[in-house]
Structure 1
Amino acid sequence: MRISELSARTQVSVHRLRRYEAAGLIASQRLPNGYRDYDDKTVKHVIFIAMSREMGFSLTFIAEYLPRFKTGKLSAQDMIDAILVRVAEIDQLMTEQQALRKKLMDHIGWFKTQARRKP
C-alpha cells in the first residue's frame, strides 16, 4: 500500500509516517516509480507506535519495544509495567509542578505585602 493509504488506515499523518521510517521504526519497499510501498502488517505497527506516542513514550522507548511487539513477544504485562513507570514519572512531574506553583503563589503574596507597605 502507498503511504497515503497507510496514513488513511492508521490516522497518522504522512509526515509522521516518513519520520517513523527515517527513525527505522517502519520500513517500505520502493516501487520503480520511487513511491513507498508498505505491507499490511505495517498498519498494526504504526498503530502501536501511535498509541505509544499518545501515552507519551519517546521514540527511543518505542524503538526498544517495537521489535518485541512485531515478533509477538511483548506481553500485555510488559506494557502494563511500562505504563505504570510512565504514570510514576507523570506523578513526579505533577508533584514538582505543584511545589513550583506553591512557590510562585508565595512570591505573589510577598510582592503584594511589599506593595502595601509602600506609602
Structure 2
Amino acid sequence: MNAPLECIIRKCEIHLERVLSSIRTSCGTTYLHTGDLDYGGVKIFQYIKKRIFPNLQPYLMDTQTHEQYKAYSEPIETSKLEKLQRTTEPLLQPLIDKICAEKQVIEQESFLF
C-alpha cells in the first residue's frame, strides 16, 4: 500500500495532467519545452509529449544549444549513455546523436550564464 503522502501526490499529478490536457484542446497554442540536454531531459520531453501535449516542440534542446554551452558540459554516466543510445525521439534525434558521440551532457541551469 502506498503511503498517504504518495497517494496525495499521485492524485495531484493526475489532476494536473487533466487540467493541462483540457487547456491544450481549448487554446490552440504551440507548447514549447526546454530541459536538460541529457537522458533525463529527453525522457521528460517524451513523457510530456505522450501524456499531455502531443504537439510539444523542443526549445533550446538542439545541437546548436549543446555546442553553445559546451563549456558547461559534464561526462555522461555509462549507464545513462547506454539507455540514451537505445532511445529514439525524432524531434530530438540530432541532439541525442550528438550527446552519444561526444559523451557530454549539459544541465539547463547552464543557460543562465
Same fold (TM over 0.5): no
Q: Which of 1 and 2 has higher RCO (CA within 8 Å, sep 6+)?
A: 2
Work out which of the two has the higher radius of gyration on C-alpha atoms and give 1 or 2. Answer: 1
Q: Which structure dedicates a bigger proportion of its chain to helix? A: 1
TM-score (norm 1): 0.21
